[in-house]
Amino acid sequence: MDLILLGAPGAGKGTQGSRLAETLGIPKVATGDILRESVREKTPLGLKAKEYMDAGELVPDEVILGLVHDALASPAAENGVIFDGFPRNVKQAEDLGRILEKAGRRVDGVIVLEVPDDAIVERMSGRRTDPDTGLVYHVVHNPPPAEVAGRVIQRADDHEDTVRHRLKVYAEQTAPLISFYEREGAVVSRVDGTREINEVQAEILRVLRP
Ligand code: AP5
- 12 CB within 6 A, ligand 1: yes
What distance in angstroms lies between residue 170's CA and the mean position of ligand 1's atoms? 11
Q: H or E element: which one contains 202?
A: helix 197-208
Ligand 1 pocket test, pick from 16, 29, 52, 58 with the greatest ligand atom count within 8 Å of Cβ, gives 58
C-alpha dihedral over 111, 197, 172, 55, to 10 degrees? -130
Distance, in Å, from the CA atom of 172 to the CA atom of 117, rounded to the nearest integer, reads 14
Q: Relative to the CA of 7, which ligand 1 atom is closest?
A: 14
Q: Is the peptide bond before 87 cis (omega within 30 degrees of 0)?
A: yes
What average pLDDT is seen over the chain? 95
Q: Where are the beta strands (DSSP E) in the chain?
A: 3-7, 28-30, 82-84, 109-114, 127-129, 136-138, 188-192
Which of helix, strand or coil describes residue 189?
strand
What distance in angstroms lies between residue 30's CA and the mean position of ligand 1's atoms? 9
What distance in angstroms lies between residue 125's CA and the mean position of ligand 1's atoms? 12
Per-residue model confidence as pLDDT tens digits over 5-18: 999 999 999 999 99
Per-residue model confidence as pLDDT tens digits over 59-73: 999 999 999 999 999
Q: Relative to the CA of 87, which ligand 1 atom is closest?
A: 34
pLDDT of residue 134 exceeding 90, the answer is no
Q: Where are the beta strands (DSSP E) in 24-176?
A: 28-30, 82-84, 109-114, 127-129, 136-138
State the pLDDT at residue 98.
96
The residues, ordered by sequence, that sit 6+ positions from 139 with a Cβ below 8 Å of its Cβ are 126, 128
Handedness of CA 190, 193, 195, 196 (dihedral sign): positive
Provide the annotated active-site residues. Answer: 13, 88, 127, 155, 166
Distance, in Å, from the CA atom of 31 to the CA atom of 48, rounded to the nearest integer, reads 14
Instruction: Report pTM.
Output: 0.93
Our separate counts of H helices and E strands in the chain read 10, 7
Per-residue model confidence as pLDDT tens digits over 72-117: 999 999 999 999 999 999 999 999 999 999 999 999 999 999 999 9
Domains of the chain, each with CATH number or no CATH = 3-27+74-208 (3.40.50.300)
- 96 CB within 6 A, ligand 1: no
